[in-house]
Amino acid sequence: MTSPAVDRTRTGLPAFAARSSASPAAGHATSAQDRAIAEPLLDVSSVTLRYKTPGLVITATERVSFSVNTSDRFVLLGPSGCGKSTLLKAVGGYIKPSEGAITIKGRTVTEPGPDRMMVFQEFDQLLPWKTVLGNVMFPLVDARRLPRKEAEERARHYIEKVNLTRALDSYPHTLSGGMKQRVAIARGMAMEPDILLMDEPFAALDALTRRTCQDELIQLWEETRFTVLFVTHSIGEAIKIGNRILLLSPHPGRVRAEVVDVDTASTADGSAGRLEREIHDLLFADA
Ligand code: ADP
Ligand code: MG
C-alpha cells in the first residue's frame, strides 16, 4: 500500500508539516512532469468565481487550479462557504469564471452539457410524477435522444447497479432519502458522462445510510471506473471517497494543498486517522 502524499507545489504555501513523521511521504506527489504526460480530462486553471449582487461583489473562489484525470475520484474539501458548490456549478457550465478557464477534454466549458452530470444534496432532485425508471430514462430520451427501448434497457442496467430494481415502478415520495440519492446517482451514471459532479450527495442522510451509500459508490467505481468530482465538507468522507483530495481555505476558497494517492484501504488501518489529523491541521492552519 502506498501512503498518501501532500503536494504543495502549486499552493505557494511553505512546506510546513509537509510529509511529517505523522504521515510518511510516498514520493507520489504529482510532479509537473507527470502532469505534462497525462493530458487531464478536466482542467481548472486559476479560476476566480464571483457573484455580483446589487451593490456587492462576493468572491467565492480565488485562482483555484486543479486537474482531474480519467477515473479519478477527485474530492473538493473545505469548510462551508468556501465555494465548493460554486466551483462545481462552474465546471457544470452554470457559472462563468471572472478569471481563468475550465476545459474538459481540451474544450472550454461555456454551458451545461450531458458530458457533465450533477448529483445534488437535496432529496427533491427527482421528478415527483415519474417512477424510478421514468426518472432515470428521462434525460436519456430528452437529452441523449436515445430510442425509448434503448433508454429503458440502459436505465434498468444502472438501476440494477444501485440495487433498486425492486423499486423500479415506485414514485419518489415512497422512497427513503438514501434510495432517492441512489436514483439520482443511477440517473447521472446512465448518461455515461465524461465526469459525474456530486455536491455533498450524502450530507443529508443519517450516519448509517450515509456509510452504506459511500461503500456502494466505491463498489460502483470498482465496477465501472467512472470519473467523479465529489464535494464534501467532511474530512472522513473525503478520505473514504477520494483518491485525490484538494483542500480549500475558508471564504474565499483558495487551494491549500492537494493530497494524492489516498488509498481507501487505509481506512482499515491507523493511517486514515493520521491523515485525517494532518488534513485537519492543513485546513485550519490559521485558525
Ligand atoms: P460551499 O458550497 O463551499 O458551502 P458556496 O459555493 O455555496 O460554498 O458559496 C461560496 C460563497 O458564495 C459563500 O460566501 C456564499 O454566501 C456565496 N454565494 C453562494 N451562492 C450565491 C449567490 N447565488 N449569490 C450570492 N452569493 C452566493
Ligand atoms: Mg455547498
Domain residue spans of the chain = 1-7+37-115+196-287, 125-192
Interval between CA 199 and ligand 2 midpoint (Å):
7
Query: What pLDDT is recorded for position 27?
Result: 34
Query: What pLDDT is recorded for position 285?
Result: 79
Nearest CA to ligand 1 atom 13: 81
Query: What pLDDT is recorded for position 266?
Result: 59
CB atoms within 10 A of CB 206: 12
Query: What pLDDT is recorded for position 193?
Result: 97
What does the pLDDT look like over 37-63, one tens digit per residue?
567 999 999 999 999 999 999 999 999
Name all residues whose Cβ lies below 6 A of ligand 1.
51, 53, 58, 60, 78, 80-86, 251
**Residues 6 or more apart whose Cβ sits within 8 Å of residue 161:** 186, 189, 220, 223, 224
Interval between CA 204 and ligand 2 midpoint (Å):
12
Interval between CA 2 and ligand 1 midpoint (Å):
36
pLDDT per residue of the chain (287 residues) written in tens, 0 to 9: 445 667 654 443 433 222 222 333 333 444 445 544 567 999 999 999 999 999 999 999 999 999 999 999 999 999 999 999 999 999 999 999 999 999 999 999 999 999 999 999 999 999 999 999 999 999 999 999 999 999 999 999 999 999 999 999 999 999 999 999 999 999 999 999 999 999 999 999 999 999 999 999 999 999 999 999 999 999 999 999 999 999 999 989 999 999 987 876 555 667 788 899 999 999 987 76
Nearest CA to ligand 1 atom 14: 81
Query: What pLDDT is recorded for position 16?
Result: 27
Interval between CA 88 and ligand 2 midpoint (Å):
9
Q: Are 229 and 92 in contact (CB under 8 A)?
A: no
What does the pLDDT look like over 74-118, one tens digit per residue?
999 999 999 999 999 999 999 999 999 999 999 999 999 999 999
Query: What pLDDT is recorded for position 268?
Result: 61
Q: Which of 188, 178, 117 is nearest to 155 (CA)?
A: 188
Q: Which of 124, 64, 118, 112 is nearest to 231 (CA)?
A: 118
Cα gap 243→227, rounded to integer Å:
11
CA count, 13 A, side-chain hemisphere, 207:
1
Q: Would the pTM count as exceeding 0.85? A: yes
Query: What pLDDT is recorded for position 8?
Result: 54
Q: Are 229 and 42 in contact (CB under 8 A)?
A: yes
Q: Among the atoms of ligand 1, which is closest to the Cα of residue 58?
A: 26
Q: Among the atoms of ligand 1, which is closest to the Cα of residue 61?
A: 10
Q: Among the atoms of ligand 1, which is closest to the Cα of residue 82?
A: 3
Q: Could you say which architecture CATH assigns to the domain 1-7+37-115+196-287?
A: 3-Layer(aba) Sandwich (3.40)
Interval between CA 91 and ligand 2 midpoint (Å):
14
Query: What pLDDT is recorded for position 264?
Result: 62
For a pocket test of ligand 1, which of 47, 49, 51 has the largest count of ligand atoms closer than 8 A to its C-beta? 51
Interval between CA 54 and ligand 2 midpoint (Å):
22
Query: What pLDDT is recorded for position 254?
Result: 96
Q: Among the atoms of ligand 1, which is closest to the Cα of residue 233?
A: 3
Query: What pLDDT is recorded for position 284?
Result: 85
Nearest CA to ligand 1 atom 25: 51
Q: Are 221 and 258 in contact (CB under 8 A)?
A: no
Query: What pLDDT is recorded for position 233?
Result: 96
Nearest CA to ligand 1 atom 1: 81
Q: Which alpha helices (DSSP H) does 115-206 contain, by range?
A: 132-142, 148-161, 177-190
